[in-house]
């Protein structure tokens, strides 16, 4: 029976060949999309699991000092910033003959020498020395290998120092052996960002699984009515139910296997472009962007098995009796209005209980439940909405094409909606993200009405409670900054720990850890004003300097006011400085000067906002890329569904043409039957996406931020996907004319 099934599929005439070609094309597109997602996740996972030298450094314990008997090495890690790009910097000094080296270096550079990553080396060769190279004392001596890097664009420098120099640096740590480096997780993604990206991949996998499942199901059920009639004839001729099942499974599995092989081949062609995708903000090494061998094997084996199971499920009526497939079964029950309840409940939760209370943050459990209800409600409500739209179309117009299309859609809306159901979740998620991100990004860039945007902030204390830069070094730095023309400085001093240790009575916030100079504070009215006669006042200035979210900065302002406590700054260490400049071209030179005093990373508030805006925009682009891939898979499903529908209804359409129905009327019927569920699904999903985005923007965005119109990428992705799907439907018109030509009429 396997041989017979292969012959029927490969040599069964023009109709069998067309059916096989559509199955292969649809499955190939789905497999290519699936392999793209798997390859990006593999690259991400390999990068996060690499040996980590960054996480062996951090805040030094209180009272730490250089021990003359210590062995290993001293490391001080911090981050620098140049033209919107982060530079990972490690100052290291050997304490003995067996000093550990980071991965990618055979040995650490000695005092007066430094090693750089290839990307940083190219950057140093192209920019003036006073803007970047002067931050690294000594001469360049060596290149850091890829074992220490997360991607080809990483900017990394390892600076050789003496033990005394590193011991005086903030956050200096003693490293005894390379074992600490090899067992540590990837520090840059060690925190919640790693889980966030994993959740993102999981959501993408779920979002892609539904349309891919729909695609495989539609492909293997292609021309199901004619195939069931043919298999019923086999039963009448004496074939057993098991033999018919084998024929069906072989036919479906063959097309799925050929499609999977073609999808693997197509993925190899697009893989170089996939390697350019920046999931975490930077590129992965190209050789890491590839599925594992077992994943290739799972796809090549799993897709045909899934197709075979789908085919067997579609033949459940043939198993009952040979004539059961030939007879028309009762019409399916029309969908009920209760299907819209989960969608309405989810949108109501987002609009109300998710954001109850004074907190601006949503309740995580309620938010997850609301999103789950909305996503499930979109899929459940689709057939019911399709039926309503079909009935409304029949009432509004009396054209023959509309009546024929509306009657079929109203009779079986579930089947009509099934071919586009995979698009619903993708369009919903893409619209929600595209509605939230522009509003949040615009709020990020409006820090204090723009008055602090170009101010350079430079933290000098590596962690809360540190004493900051020594008074003498702080005075030296302030003198150099003030000597530059057009530069204004606000010194922020570190207060002693007295009064901040232990729990706060009443559970209130801890006392401020910093104080600001009133003369400098006058240059920054957004931060507040000092009481009359005060030389310096305490305040939560450290929160403003250390905040990585401009939305939180806006809520902190003003920091100083009439109730601020006056203090004396004599003998206090310098915790941070805020620097304003008349000439923006001096920014990198000022950053180089601050880097010599251990400041890091010195960034303007606009750069902080831009960094977060870039993360949000990248997340939006990745989500929209997933929407585009899903629309591609949905378009392939539509191709298969339209082609299969034409094959199944070849005989009734031919009879209609023989009865005098114009071919353009039949073409309009096919267009309406396919386009109405497609457009309806996209509109409802987009509306639900904006319904979810609105409350999030109102509560989470900055003061005065409102819903923003999604960017051109969103409209190009969704609009282009829908336009391509409609073109696919129009391409079926010539096939319709050929299949229903009166000269080809044949009745069985």
Q: Based on the number of CB atoms within 10 Å of its own CB, is 434 exposed (0-12), middle (13-18) or buried (19 or more)?
A: buried
Q: Give the pLDDT score at 119.
A: 92
Predicted confidence band of residue 183 (pLDDT cuts 50, 70, 90): very low
pLDDT in tens, 560-608: 888 888 888 888 888 888 888 888 888 888 888 888 887 777 888 888 8
CA distance 689 to 375: 10
Q: Alpha helices, DSSP H only, in 156-240?
A: 163-167, 179-183, 192-220, 224-236
Band (253; pLDDT cuts 50, 70, 90): confident
Q: Is the pLDDT of residue 397 over 70?
A: yes
Q: What tokens were used for 602?
A: 């010195």
Question: Residue 283 — pLDDT band, cuts 50, 70, 90?
Answer: confident
Judged against a pLDDT cut of 70, whether residue 197 lies above it is answered with no
Q: Which of 279-293, 439-453, 552-566 has the lowest mean pLDDT?
A: 439-453
DSSP string, 238-288: T--HHHHHHHHHHHHHHHHHHHHHHHHHHHHHHHHHHTT--SSSSPPPGGG
Q: Do 489 and 481 touch, CB atoms closer than 8 A?
A: yes
Do residues 157 and 87 make contact, with C-beta atoms less than 8 angstroms apart? yes
Q: What mean pLDDT is reported for the chain?
A: 76
| Structure-model confidence comparison of residues 332 and 614, the more confident one | 614
Least reliable range by pLDDT among 12-16, 35-39, 77-81, 178-182: 178-182
The C-alpha atoms of residue 595 and residue 136 are separated, in whole angstroms, by 9
Give counts: helices (H), strands (E), the chain. Answer: 24, 12
pTM tops 0.75? no
pLDDT of residue 185: 39
Higher pLDDT, 712 or 626: 712
Lowest-confidence segment of 75-84, 320-329, 444-453, 514-523 by average pLDDT: 320-329
For residue 434, which phi and psi values (nearest 5 degrees)?
Answer: -65, -25
Cβ atoms of residues 84 and 604 within 8 Å: no
Q: Residue 614: its pLDDT value, please? A: 76
* pLDDT higher than threshold 90 for residue 455: no
Sheet harboring 85-94: ordered strands across?
139-143, 113-116, 155-160, 85-94, 73-82, 173-175
Tokens of 424: 């619903």
Write out pLDDT tens, residues 650-702. 777 788 887 888 878 888 888 888 778 888 888 888 888 888 888 777 765 54
- For residue 604, the SS3 value is strand
Lowest mean pLDDT among 91-105, 393-407, 638-652: 638-652
Indicate left, alpha or beta for 347 from its phi (over 0: left) and psi (-120 to 50: alpha).
alpha
Query: For position 729, what pLDDT does the model report?
Result: 73
């Amino acid at each position: 029976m396997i041989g017979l099934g292969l012959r029927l599929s490969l040599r069964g005439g023009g109709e069998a060949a067309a059916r096989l070609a559509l199955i292969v094309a649809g499955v190939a597109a789905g497999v290519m999309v699936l392999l793209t997602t798997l390859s990006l996740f593999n690259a991400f996972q390999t990068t996060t699991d690499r040996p980590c030298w960054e996480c062996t450094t951090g805040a030094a314990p209180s009272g730490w000092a250089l021990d003359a008997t210590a062995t290993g090495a001293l490391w001080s890690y911090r981050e620098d910033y140049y033209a919107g790009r982060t530079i990972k910097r490690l100052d290291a000094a050997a304490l003995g003959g067996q000093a550990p080296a980071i991965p990618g270096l055979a040995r650490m550079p000695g005092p007066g020498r430094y090693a750089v990553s290839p990307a940083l080396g190219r950057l140093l060769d192209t920019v003036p020395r006073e803007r970047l190279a002067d931050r690294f004392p000594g001469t360049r001596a060596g290149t850091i290998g890829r074992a220490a890097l997360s991607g080809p664009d990483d900017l990394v420098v390892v600076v050789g120092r003496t033990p005394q120099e590193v011991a005086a640096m903030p956050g200096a740590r003693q490293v005894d052996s390379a074992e600490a480096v090899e067992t540590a997780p990837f520090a840059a993604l060690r925190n919640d960002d790693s889980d966030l990206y994993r959740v993102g991949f999981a959501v993408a996998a779920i979002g892609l699984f539904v349309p891919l499942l729909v695609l495989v199901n539609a492909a293997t059920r292609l021309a199901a009515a004619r195939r069931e009639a043919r298999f019923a004839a086999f039963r009448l001729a004496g074939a057993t139910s098991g033999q018919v099942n084998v024929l069906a499974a072989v036919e479906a599995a063959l097309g799925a296997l050929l499609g999977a092989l073609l999808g693997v081949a197509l993925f190899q062609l697009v893989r170089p472009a996939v390697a350019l995708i920046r999931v975490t903000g930077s590129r992965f090494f190209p050789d890491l962007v590839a599925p594992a061998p077992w994943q290739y094997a799972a796809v090549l084996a799993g897709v045909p098995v899934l197709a075979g199971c789908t085919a067997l499920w579609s033949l459940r009526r043939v198993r009952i009796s040979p004539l059961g497939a030939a007879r028309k079964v009762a019409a399916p029950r029309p969908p009920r209005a209760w299907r819209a309840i989960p969608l309405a409940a989810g949108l109501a939760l987002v609009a109300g209980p998710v954001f109850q209370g004074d907190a601006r943050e949503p309740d995580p459990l309620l938010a997850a439940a609301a999103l789950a209800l909305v996503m499930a409600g979109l899929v459940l409500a689709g057939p019911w909405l399709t039926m309503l739209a079909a009935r409304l179309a029949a009432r509004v117009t009396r054209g023959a094409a509309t009546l024929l299309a509306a009657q079929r859609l109203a009779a079986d809306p579930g089947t009509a909606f099934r071919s586009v159901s995979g698009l619903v979740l993708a369009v919903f998620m893409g619209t929600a993200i595209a509605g939230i991100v522009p509003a949040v990004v615009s709020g990020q860039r409006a820090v204090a009405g723009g008055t602090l945007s170009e101010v350079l902030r430079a933290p000098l204390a590596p962690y809360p409670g540190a004493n900051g830069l020594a008074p003498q070094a702080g005075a030296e730095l302030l003198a150099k900054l003030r000597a530059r023309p057009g530069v204004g400085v606000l010194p922020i001093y570190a207060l002693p720990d007295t009064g901040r240790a232990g729990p706060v009575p009443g559970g209130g916030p801890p006392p401020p850890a910093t104080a600001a100079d009133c003369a400098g504070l006058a240059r920054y009215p957004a931060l507040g004003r000092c009481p009359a006669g005060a030389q310096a006042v305490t305040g939560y200035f450290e929160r403003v300097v250390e905040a990585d979210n401009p939305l939180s900065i806006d809520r902190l302002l003003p920091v100083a006011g009439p109730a601020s406590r006056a203090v004396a700054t004599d003998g206090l260490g310098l915790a941070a400085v805020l620097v304003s400049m008349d000439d923006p071209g001096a920014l990198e030179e000022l950053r180089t000067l601050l880097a010599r005093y251990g400041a890091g990373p010195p960034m303007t508030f606009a750069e902080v906002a831009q960094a977060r805006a870039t993360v949000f925009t990248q997340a939006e682009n990745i989500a929209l890329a997933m929407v585009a891939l899903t629309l591609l898979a949905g378009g392939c499903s539509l191709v298969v569904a339209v082609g299969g529908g034409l094959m199944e209804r070849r005989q009734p359409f031919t009879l209609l043409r023989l009865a005098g129905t114009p071919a353009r009327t039949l073409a309009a019927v096919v267009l309406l039957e396919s386009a109405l569920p497609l457009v309806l699904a996209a509109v409802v999903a987009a509306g639900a996406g904006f319904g979810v985005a609105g409350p999030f923007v109102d509560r989470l965005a900055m003061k005065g931020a409102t819903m923003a119109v999604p960017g051109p990428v969103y409209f190009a992705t969704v609009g282009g996907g829908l336009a391509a799907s409609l073109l696919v439907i129009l391409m079926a018109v010539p096939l319709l004319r050929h299949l229903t030509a009166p000269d080809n009429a044949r009745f069985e």
